[in-house]
Chain A
Amino acid sequence: MAVPITTVTTIVEAIEGAGPDVKLFSLVDPDRWELPRFRAGAHIDLHLPGGMVRTYSLCNDPADNKCYRVAVKREPAGRGGSAKLHDQVRVGDVIGVSLPRGGLVLDAAISRFIFVAGGIGITPFLSAAALLLRTGRPDFILHLLARGEPPLPRLVAPFVQSGHVILHDTATAGRPDLAALIGLPAPKTAIGCCGPAGMIDDFERASRDWPGERVHVERLIEQVAIIQ
């Protein structure tokens, strides 16, 4: 008897290097059928060989409905998920994934967005940026804090060129003042942050005067995003 199907079946269509210790995985249906819809920056669980399950943010435009794209930074001191993806997963491998969940609510009543990302934490905001530009809502800024070369340079470059992404090299200038980046609460403005715990703590302090419904925070724990 067949066993219950509990995940979306995908195959790895492409794996590309995407900056220091980062690989970009493109997952598609075996017949290139449309995949279940997702919200900008939604999360999926990847069911890896050996029963390991890891959660990653989708970084592509939700309109790209035939592909799930996740960027994975190799964490040598992590719990093994990123190492397995980097070292063992190959193009053509089959990976079961969960239905997408969560993601950014880009409310139509909001006209301006300020995002702050730490390193690989840029992934959900790349998805949001693509959606915002495609839907004619170009009033957003994404501050990318990275030590040295930023992740996903090919995907980030067009946004740097258009002025939507501002790079902050923390190796040379230290971490910028997050309160200065997001400013004071402003009407029709929402803010978001995704990055390591220390950065999120700073962001939460800096944003405590903002209305909670206009603040989106994701905390990276070995790339396991915890939605708050």
Chain B
Amino acid sequence: MLDTIQTSSRGAVVPGWTGVVRHLHVTPRAFLPMREMPEIKLIEGTGIEGDRYMIGREQGFYSHKPEEGRQVTLFEFETLVALKRDASIELGPEEHRRNVTVEGVPLTHLVGRRFWLGETLLEATRLSIPCRHIEEITGKAIFDPLINRSGLNCKILKGGIVRTGDAVWNFQ
């Protein structure tokens, strides 16, 4: 929920917000369907237990291009709503292939910032980029509609258990 507007010390406009975890997904290997989980275990500096991008596992489609910020990825629930509303594309939370679907969290504002995801602390490293790989897997033409809203890559500063329904909020 975007409830207030604040100005950060860096001069950028940063919305004040609190959000919620709507869905959690992992998959152990590239190409395999994401499986919905009631909770996931985030391991500091490493990734999500059992997920393909956990450091040391390297079973993801992009694992040959190592990246610290791929430890956990987030996606906006609002984008799923927008895809249906604006492009008549039904995309389920298990199809976008990010790990955490959140609602009320302005992901595009968070690059370089820290925020709480339940009891875990994340640092956003960059916006995710849509890829043809998702189109190949889903069979849906979602590359263009996902430009600039394809999620957020993060590294895990403090691990813990994340459950659906957990709150998401700014670190500061």
Q: Which of B23-31, B38-46, B154-162 contacts A (4 or more CB under 8 A)?
A: B23-31
Main secondary structure of the interface of B (DSSP, over half): loop
Kindly identify, within residues 26 to 81 of chain B, every residue whose CB is under 8 Å from any CB belonging to chain A. 27-33, 35, 58-61, 63-64, 66
Write out, one digit per residue, whether chain A residues 1-43 have a CB within 8 A of any chain B CB (1) or not (0): 1111101110000000000000000000101011111000000
The answer to whether the Cβ of B111 comes within 8 Å of any Cβ in the partner chain is no
- Asked if A4 contacts B64 (CB within 8 A), the reply is yes
Kindly identify, within residues 107 to 156 of chain B, every residue whose CB is under 8 Å from any CB belonging to chain A. 136-137
Cβ of B131 to closest chain A Cβ, rounded Å: 13
- Asked if B27 contacts A33 (CB within 8 A), the reply is yes
- Asked if B33 contacts A31 (CB within 8 A), the reply is no
- Contact A9:B29 (CB < 8 A) given known A2-B58, A34-B35, A99-B137: yes
A31-B29 Cα distance, complex, nearest whole Å: 10
Cβ of A1 to closest chain B Cβ, rounded Å: 6
- The total of chain B residues at the interface (CB under 8 A) is 17
Q: Which chain B residue lies CB-closest to A97?
A: B31
Main secondary structure of the interface of A (DSSP, over half): loop
A8-B60 Cα distance, complex, nearest whole Å: 11
Q: Which of A2, A31, A36 contacts B31 (CB 8 A)?
A: A36
Residues of B within 8 A of A (CB): 27-33, 35, 58-61, 63-64, 66, 136-137
Residues of A within 8 A of B (CB): 1-5, 7-9, 29, 31, 33-37, 65, 99
